[in-house]
Amino acid sequence: MTLTDFRFETDPDGIALATWDMPGRSMNVITEGVMDQLEQIIEQVASDPAIKGCVIATGKDNFSGGADLTMLQGLGRAYEQLKAEQGEEVAMRHFFEASRRLSLLFRRLETCGKPFAAAIQGLCLGGAFELALSCHYRVASDDGKTRVGLPEIKVGLFPGGGGTQRVARLMQTGDALQMLFKGEQIRAPMAKGMGLIHAVAPQAEIVERAKAWIREGGSAVAPWDVPKFKAPSGKVYSPAGMMIWPPANAIYRRETHDNYPAAKAILASVYEGLQLPMDLALRVESRYFAHILRSTEAAAMIRTLFISMGELNKGARRPKDVPATNLRRVGVIGAGFMGAGVAYVTAQAGIEVVLVDQSVEAAEKGKAYAHTLITGQINKGRAKTADRDALLGRITATADYNALAECDLVVEAVFEDPKVKAEVIQKVEAVIRPDAIFASNTSTLPITGLAKSSQRPAQFVGIHFFSPVEKMMLVEIIKGEATGDAALATALDYVRLIKKTPIVVNDARGFFANRCVGAYILEGHKMLAEGVPPAMIESAGRQAGMPVGPLSLNDEVALDLVLKIAKATEAQVGQGAVDPAQKAILSEMVEHQGRLGRKNRKGFYDYPEGAPKRLWPGLKDLQPNRLDPEAVDFTELKQRLLVVQALEAARTVGEGVVTDPREADVGSILGFGFAPFTGGALSYIDFMGTAAFVELARQLEAKHGPRFHVPDNLSAMAERGGTFYAEADRRAA
């Protein structure tokens, strides 16, 4: 055997150990080379009479994160090339066989006649967990970092290495579907309780436990290969089966609005596969997998949520000539909801925090928020009491600005008022070290303007967190006109330390995310003013792929905040910068009805205690004209809500606010939930085709006004047949 990614050895009892340890990588991944070597190992074990069985383990902290998705992207490129050269039938046949190679390999392992066991520690996800599922025995480490799961749905795919069929034969069908649809990472004890693994043991013992199972005569036959095997939920066509499938289909429709082909393929694969013997069931799964692998949704989601996000998380936008920073202490000014959240995620990353507010009591209240959050983690079994003590020990609550003297970075999160921020900037700069970086957490105020209050604008940068800080994964880093590379590098290093995804944008009012969010909320207000039934507006938003409708989102943001931003924009930019219909609705809601949003339980929705939110009946009084629902073009409503955001994203590119399409797409999905199946706001345009998108936008402009006007940069791109990604690649070449 020629092995570079595995070590292979056999003990005196004839039990082989294949240790997966890819050189030069921090994480094992499934590649063509790994498949070649795994095939050699399987055949060696199967053919050597001296080998009783084999344990597959890892030489790294984690078992494996699964398949290298760039390999799957390569299959698509090979398909297109072969299609052009030899025709679609030849190309499709090659694509199908190539895409099911992993499934066939795992099935060969499962039926080779020798027992295989998996010793799992750390992450074991995707194709790697499908490898483990094809082994006859699975033992996992009891270490808290050990997780198993099939997260493919999160990048527009589904398990194509046998995962849908094996999970559905190990668990009740409803539980299996829920696991496959959610794509969550599962802790070892829970996985054992679900029947996904056989045993949990201390990490130092898992390999020996796996060997002992083989030594004691472990069976080389999977349960589903035993004659008269019965699935846990019985036959599909049975009274019990019919209690599962109609509700499952309804839940699928409710949760996906038919926007995610991979979810539908999971449903179909399990439904059809459970009616067939295993080999035929795996072939059915492979056909669906090949189909999904060629879908626009998978291509878009893989590019944005796997490749682009991975590159940004690894520092794709970090200035290359700035040495790595060593952030040991971070100051946070303002212990309100945002500041307290920033303090918590910073301390959670192991960094000392100085939390400053106007009084010690206010600062301690912010620290108490961290106590509440970490206690919630303890109650869920995700942290220990010692973790809480250590985290709180890293947060110093104070009213004394002098405590910031040794901070490497200071983040202000005070009231969104330039005068208040200017005062804070001066107080902080009077006490911090000359090399310290100052960051403003602002959602709309231009950083260049705020930096005018600074004595050292080169060390002034924007770090825009999203609320709630502990849950939202995106952080916008804003470069002011004078922001230097050291400040930018420090901000990026900090965001990486707190395990969030950064995007870098140039300075402008609203930056990137809030401009797009503002366009979405405005469109909801415009629809309301037109007389569209509020329930239709909200349903259109959700069915278009957004997490919530525009009215619900406005409630979360707070109506009074949006009104305040509108008034500030009007005062600074002019009356033409604010839509009068929107201002009228917000003024009525906030100033006359006292409806501020979720925060006071009254907004576009009512929020009764202990009951689901419901649309406020009084909204009908805000609509002088009410349209007949039957006369409303629902498809157009969905298009308006996505197109208006995508146009705003395109404008940010034309204005130089966003310079990398990866950041626009990742930012749009992580920041405000732009329909993930599209791959993001710019991918929505690219995959539709710029010419087709421009034509749609112009139709909407003719009917609904200049907010759908196509910016010059997008119009020119459509004329030359370009896309955002192709042109970015050309500039980078």
Name the residue ranges covered by the structural domains of the chain.
6-294, 329-508, 514-729
Summarize the confidence of residues 708-720 as an average pLDDT.
Answer: 97
Summarize the confidence of residues 332-347 as an average pLDDT.
Answer: 97
Does the pLDDT of residue 173 top 80, yes or no?
yes
Where does the pLDDT of residue 264 fall: very low under 50, low under 70, confident under 90, or very high at 90 and above? very high
Contacts of 687 (CB under 8 A, 6+ apart): 296, 299, 300, 678, 679
Residue 256's pLDDT is what?
A: 94
Give me 260's structure tokens. Answer: 């995610």
Does the pLDDT of residue 21 top 90, yes or no?
yes
Does the pLDDT of residue 584 top 80, yes or no?
yes
Tell me how far CA of residue 64 lies from CA of 26, 71, 303, 308, in angstroms. 10, 16, 20, 20
Q: What is the pLDDT of residues 468-497, one digit of tens each?
A: 999 999 999 999 999 999 999 999 999 999
Summarize the confidence of residues 211-239 as an average pLDDT.
Answer: 95
Residue 574's pLDDT is what?
A: 81
> Chain centroid to CA 472: how far?
10
Q: What is the pLDDT of residues 113-154, one digit of tens each?
A: 999 999 999 999 999 999 999 999 999 999 989 999 999 999
Does the pLDDT of residue 564 top 90, yes or no?
no
Residue 511's pLDDT is what?
A: 92
Summarize the confidence of residues 3-25 as an average pLDDT.
Answer: 97
Q: What is the pLDDT of residues 503-560, one digit of tens each?
A: 999 999 889 999 999 999 999 999 999 999 999 999 999 999 999 999 999 999 899 9
Residue 624's pLDDT is what?
A: 87
Tell me how far CA of residue 597 lies from CA of 340, 509, 543, 589, 593, in angstroms. 22, 24, 23, 9, 11
Does the pLDDT of residue 78 top 90, yes or no?
no
Does the pLDDT of residue 40 top 90, yes or no?
yes
User: What's the CATH code, domain 514-729?
Assistant: 1.10.1040.50
Does the pLDDT of residue 366 top 80, yes or no?
yes
Does the pLDDT of residue 620 top 80, yes or no?
yes
Residue 82's pLDDT is what?
A: 86
Please give the mean pLDDT across all residues of the chain: 95
Q: What is the pLDDT of residues 267-302, one digit of tens each?
A: 999 999 999 999 999 999 999 999 999 999 999 999
% of the chain residues with pLDDT over 70? 100
pTM: 0.92
Give me 82's structure tokens. Answer: 């072969």
In the 3-class helix/strand/coil scheme, how is 200-262 assigned residue by residue?
Answer: EECHHHHHHHHHHHHHCCCCCCCHHHCCCCCCCCCCCCCHHHHCCHHHHHHHHHHHHCCCCHH
Summarize the confidence of residues 31-36 as an average pLDDT.
Answer: 96
Half-sphere exposure of 142 (CA within 13 A, CB side): 7
User: What's the CATH code, domain 6-294?
Assistant: 3.90.226.10
Architecture per CATH, 329-508: 3-Layer(aba) Sandwich (3.40)
Residue 80's pLDDT is what?
A: 84
